[in-house]
Chain A
Amino acid sequence: MTLDRRQILAAGLTLGAMSLFPGMSWAQARKLVFATFTGSWEEAHREVIVPHFRKATGNADIALDPMLSVDMIAKVSAAKANPPIDVMLMDPGPRLTVIGQDLAAPFPVDGSKNYKDLLPVAQLPEGPGIFFQAVGITYNPERVKTPPTSWDDLWKPEYKGRVGITNMNSTLGTAFMVELAKTRGGSENDIEPAFAALKELQPNLGGVAPNPGALATLFQQGQIDISPGNFNAIQILRARGVPVEFAKPKTGTIAFLTTAHITKNSPNAALAAALIESAMAPEVQTKLMQAPFYVIPTNSKVQMDGDIARMIAKDQEELKASFVFHDWSVINKNRAAWIERFNKEIKV
């Protein structure tokens, strides 16, 4: 057979198109896509949840796609009928957006082995809570000699230029502002005290980070010594040898639940449920709680130990007593206005 110009061109174009759109060559449903968080979360989920899931499902194909909750929402809402993601992880604020925009399918609670063992606060049929995140005070123990005990410590004159915060784009930044309002007589509906307090904090501010990751960088570079911080974010720094500690404020550790959701119209709904089942399993959560991951468990059967027991809570009772949850349905309504105000008022 001889090939003419046209045939070569056609073959070339087909090959090109196939490499541009690899989905074209797959006849059946794609692998399960689990949108996890970036950094150490991805590492933890890849090493602990994925093997458990593959064992439970007879080696089902799975791919992790790490990104922020808000990016997951953007991707799924841009392709609602054929979502590129099967399982989404949500912080409390984005979670309500997902439910409000009808982007998630309910978790099949009835068939679940582990759902009933979750702490009551994590038993959410729209998508169960698979771990907690905790926000407290993070500090550099080499420069902050007395461990802080209260949010008010950030205002101490000795920390002039040494305090870091993030702006309100992140869950961390928003939760900090709400907690600030609450400890000073405000609430999710009355953020005024937080803005007033932030004005007083300005001389102490060494930097307003654009995101929590950048806040970690500021610690690493010695730009700041004390800040509100995510318990898990500092574990990464500790593992890298950066001197940083986590302190529980006496008014309570700000906690939020990270929930796992099956994307609506997912072609892999059953596998997605199986993945969430694995993420709730006590053996998975126990392993995730230990070094080097330090993920705070939501399953009541998990025995706390190690750094989590020392720095967060020694058991589920203490956890319930020391965790402060915010009402994100109210926060979400106000958040746009708060961010606009933060944009305008906070200049360092």
Chain B
Amino acid sequence: MTAAAITAGLAGPATAARTRIGREWTLALPLAAFFAVFFVTPLLLLVAVSLFADAEMTRFGLDQYVRFFGDAFNLAVLGSTLYLGVKVTALTLLFGYPLAWLYTRSGPRMQSALILVIILPLLTSVVVRTFAWIVILGRDGIVNTLLLSLGLAETPLRLLYTEGGLVAALVQVQMPLMVLPLITTLSRLDPNLLDASAALGAGPWRGFWKVTLPLSLPGIVAGCLLTYAASVTAFITQSLVGGGQMLFMPQYIYQQTITLHNWPFAAAISIVFMVSVLGVVMLFNLLGRASKGYVHA
């Protein structure tokens, strides 16, 4: 779902090569066929299942959607999931941008070290990374032990199974998705531009706001898209660090499908969730496009 939208967003302006395209497009056919069979078909099936009126799948009707939108609780779950993504994306950007910037400013040796640090989390499974956070945030965990030994807290704080803990874990888990696109954009940035702005009298901050930041917007948009899509759908991290009473859309779908066998309702909330995330993704895309106008102006 999001992958296609993201690629569309990253494709950028029309290339001159387009006029020269002949029969080469047929090379994309195998992948297109694969997508048609294993992505589009299941998606259509999902839509079809969501249109059953009852859990036993005997009648058609829009009942599942009526049920979803008729209950404020469901909307609250959807809202908190989308908002979770916003918080994680904002923090990832806040911490990731300086890291990416540092990378482009470092010498080759430092760069290899940094890229290793950035890529390393991707080389371990999400389960392992998430489990590490359970150890960090637990009552006897690293954070609590440190706070207690420094005398900053008298009793261990509750960090695990809280939204704050979950956001922290997600920010770390999804960080590479933000930093890698940022590095790509920032590395392509012509250093002469900053020198020019300095020569024309702009201070470092003004140079950053007027030159670096606008020119890196495509990277920011790409990084935000990836991070957002990955964090709202992060079933494993959400359930292991968020706990059993914090309900987000992925767990809600799992609960309805696996525990309650209510496939139509699960399908309906999946569709609602997908459309909502697509909506947010399109918003990011619009921002990205608007930013291009700004940069070229």
CB distance from A302 to the nearest CB of B (A): 33
Name the interface residues of A249-273: CB closer than 8 Å to any CB of B: none
Q: A207-B161, A210-B251, A221-B135 given as contacts; is B73 within 8 A of A344 (CB)?
A: yes
> Which residues on A sit within 8 Å (CB–CB) of B247?
343
Query: Which of B73, B239, B261 lies in contact with A210, CB distance below 8 A?
Result: B239
Contact B240 A210 (CB under 8 A): yes
Q: Closest A residue to B139 by CB, please name it.
A: A223
Number of interface residues of B (CB under 8 A): 27
Interface readout for B211-253 with A: 1 if CB under 8 Å, 0 if not?
0000000000000000000000000000110111101000110
Q: A74-B257, A208-B244, A208-B245 given as contacts; is B139 within 8 A of A221 (CB)?
A: yes
> Which residues on B sit within 8 Å (CB–CB) of A343?
73, 247, 252, 255
| A347 in the interface (beta carbon within 8 A) | yes
| A166 in the interface (beta carbon within 8 A) | yes
> Which residues on B sit within 8 Å (CB–CB) of A71?
258
Q: Give A166 to B239 CA distance when docked, in angstroms.
A: 12
CB distance from B120 to the nearest CB of A (A): 24
Q: Give A169 to B254 CA distance when docked, in angstroms.
A: 10
Contact A73 B244 (CB under 8 A): no
Q: Give A346 to B135 CA distance when docked, in angstroms.
A: 25
Give the secondary structure class of A's interface: mixed
Name the interface residues of B133-147: CB closer than 8 Å to any CB of A: 134-135, 138-141
| B291 in the interface (beta carbon within 8 A) | no
Q: A206-B158, A221-B141 given as contacts; is B245 within 8 A of A70 (CB)?
A: no
Interface readout for B61-73 with A: 1 if CB under 8 Å, 0 if not?
0000000000001
Q: A70-B258, A70-B259, A336-B262 given as contacts; is B244 within 8 A of A222 (CB)?
A: no
| B260 in the interface (beta carbon within 8 A) | yes
| B160 in the interface (beta carbon within 8 A) | yes
A interface, CB within 8 angstroms of B = 68, 70-71, 73-74, 97, 161, 166-167, 169, 173, 206-211, 214, 217-218, 221-223, 335-336, 339, 343-344, 346-348
